[in-house]
Amino acid sequence: MRKNNRKIMMAGAAVAAVFSIATIAAGEPKSGYLSAEPETQAMQDDDFSNPAMLVTDYGGDLWSTADGDSGKSCEDCHGDAADSMKGVKTRYPTYYQPWGKMINLELRINECRKDNQKAKAWKYESKEMLGMASYIGYQSRGMPMAVDIGGKATPFFTKGKEFYYERRGQLDMACSHCHEDNSGNMIRANLLTEGQINGFPTYRLKWSGVGTLHRRFKGCNDQVRAIPYERGSDEYVNLELYLAWRGRGLAVETPSVRN
């Protein structure tokens, strides 16, 4: 009891130190796009000025390049991605029977490489994975995010939700403290958004490059001086499921541009 009170007081102090005002976010989910600078929005709006399109195009090249012991390209089996991969991004993470747990798009791409293409898995944050995840995500642009959290997905959804509300790190803060209680407020030099995931992989000006959602998770864990998890870990995939549901209905913006 005493220990608990102390924890809450410490967290209160940390929150007061970083935020000027506190408001409660409510209503429909809002994309980070809405809080971006007009120049940043313009970069995303125009495929020719969107720096992430280079990476996405590279994914398109890989799509039609033969690889692995099958000697086949993705296209040889899946055909035109504009048809076969349309809407795929909107329903990931999804329950994956062979694992008995959830799988996200990046991990699913690697499963297919190993099982069907008979090729080596790509590193999670590699140029190849960023390219392919962006290219597949791009085929769902404008479509509403719509993950299924029923049936076998439910226990994983619950874990992801718990993670979201759990205090962690030296600052003892949960995701919700920044992205729910304080979205719309300034934190240091940044305007806090709802931390929605509909634009990933995303081009971040701060990264000068494209990064995965799990890279972002690590960055946000670092901000509160918490030990981050591995990209592709169960913890992050479950968290991704919760966030995909939280932003359900938001249009896919892959590849987005953010500060």
Question: Shortest distance, CB of residue 213 to ligand HEC, whole angstroms?
Answer: 6
Find the Cα–Cα–Cα–Cα dihedral 149, 105, 140, 52, rounded to 10°.
140
Q: Which of 224, 237, 241, 244 binds ligand HEC (CB under 6 A)?
A: 224
**Which structure tokens are listed for 227?**
């030990």
Residue from 113, 215, 218, 231 that binds ligand HEC (CB under 6 A)?
A: 113
Q: Is residue 257 classed as helix, strand or coil in its secondary structure?
A: strand
Give the closest residue to 161 by CA, choosing from 235, 91, 92, 80.
235
For 31, other C-beta atoms within 10 Å of its C-beta total: 18
Q: Please choose, from the candidates 200, 187, 186, 190, the residue with its C-alpha nearest in 3D space to the C-alpha of residue 44.
A: 200
Nearer to ligand HEC, 1 or 26 (CB): 26
| Residue 185 binds to ligand HEC (criterion: CB under 6 A) | no
Q: Which of residues 143-172 bind ligand HEC (CB under 6 A)?
A: none
Closer to ligand HEC by CB, 25 or 88: give it. 88
Note whether 89 binds ligand HEC by CB under 6 A.
no
Task: Spell out the alpha helix ranges (H) of the chain.
Answer: 2-18, 38-45, 52-63, 74-78, 81-84, 105-112, 127-138, 154-165, 175-179, 213-223, 234-246
Contact flag: residue 32 with ligand HEC (CB under 6 A): yes
Q: Which of 221, 229, 232, 234 binds ligand HEC (CB under 6 A)?
A: 221
Check if 178 is active-site.
Answer: no
Amino acid letter, 166: E
Applying CB under 6 A, which of residues 41, 116, 158, 185 lies at the interface with ligand HEC?
116
Region from 39-47, 115-123, 141-149, 150-158 binding ligand HEC, contact rule CB under 6 A:
115-123
d(CA 60, CA 138): 10
> What minimum distance in Å lies between the beta carbon of 198 and ligand HEC?
8
Which of 112, 146, 205, 251 touches ligand HEC (CB under 6 A)?
112
103: phi then psi, degrees, rounded to nearest 5? -135, 140
Cα–Cα distance for residue pair 198/249, rounded to 1 Å: 10
Q: Contact residues for ligand HEC (CB under 6 A)?
A: 32, 70, 72, 74, 76-78, 88, 108-109, 112-113, 115-117, 132, 136, 173, 175, 177-179, 187, 190, 192-193, 195-197, 199, 202, 216-217, 220-221, 223-224, 239, 258
